[in-house]
Structure 1
């Protein structure tokens, strides 16, 4: 895989690192910070990232299972996060060729509608099921904006193990 911004040939992703980063993102989501609009959904950032960069390791099934775990944690409607995470995983996999060739800031702009979809999907589902809309839950748009702003940092952190050279040779151009 090639990092299109720097032209650097990336090392293969270690599956242990991929699943460890998903586990760390799940633990960050499980922190008792609260469900405020300014708290990003770390797990969806990680799921979207790995579905764009290494969709063979993380797919729709993994996203569905992690969504079920988040449904149980939030004691929300069972399947609400599971459906939205799996839908987002599918969209990220289908867009991965287009998004990976863009710069990191342009990637964040292209992923903003995906983050908006996953943050506003529970609001829409509750509105359709109960007939009432929770206006305070529309702060998910702020959450999606923060997730899009965190995308360059997540890209930098999650691609860093793949950027390390195996052995440093100052005479070799690559």
Structure 2
């Protein structure tokens, strides 16, 4: 895979690193800091990133299982996060060729609708099922914007093990 921003060829990703990063994102989501709009959903950022860059390791099924875990953790309706995570994983996989070719800031702008979908889908589901709108939950759009602003940092961190060194050592074949 080529890093279009730097022009360097990336090393193959280690699947253990992919699953370790998903596990760390899950642990960050499980921290007892509350469900505030200023707390990003680390798991969805990581799921979207790996679905865009390495969708053969993280797919819709993985996103669905992680969504079920988040439903159980939040004591929410079973399947709300699972459906939204799997829908977002599908959208990220279908948009991955378009997103990878863009600059980092443009990627973040293109991913705002995906992050908005995840943050506002539970509000829509509760409204359809109960008939009540939780207006305070619409502050999830702040969460989506925060996740989009974190996208360049997350991209830098998660692609760092794959970047080739700039100085070429002629004694190494790779």
TM-score (norm 1): 0.96
Cα RMSD, aligned residues only: 1.8
Give the alignment of 1:76-155 within 5 angstroms: 76-155=76-155
| C-alpha displacement of 1:166 | 11
| C-alpha displacement of 1:62 | 0.2
| C-alpha displacement of 1:169 | 1.5
| C-alpha displacement of 1:171 | 9.9
| C-alpha displacement of 1:143 | 0.1
What is residue 33 of structure 1 aligned with on the other side?
33
1:59 aligns with 2:59: yes
Q: Quote the Cα distance in structure 2 between the aligned partners of 1:152 and 1:5.
A: 11
| C-alpha displacement of 1:38 | 0.4
Q: Quote the Cα distance in structure 2 between the aligned partners of 1:167 and 1:60.
A: 38
Cα deviation digits, residues 55-98 of structure 1 (max 9, x gap): 00000000000000000000000000000000000000000000
What is residue 21 of structure 1 aligned with on the other side?
21
TM-score (norm 2): 0.96
Q: Quote the Cα distance in structure 2 between the aligned partners of 1:170 and 1:84.
A: 48
Unaligned segments of structure 1, at least 5 residues: none
| C-alpha displacement of 1:170 | 7.2
**Any runs of at least 4 consecutive aligned residues in structure 1 with deviations exceeding 4 A, and if so which?**
none
Q: Quote the Cα distance in structure 2 between the aligned partners of 1:171 and 1:103.
A: 33
- Paired positions, count: 173
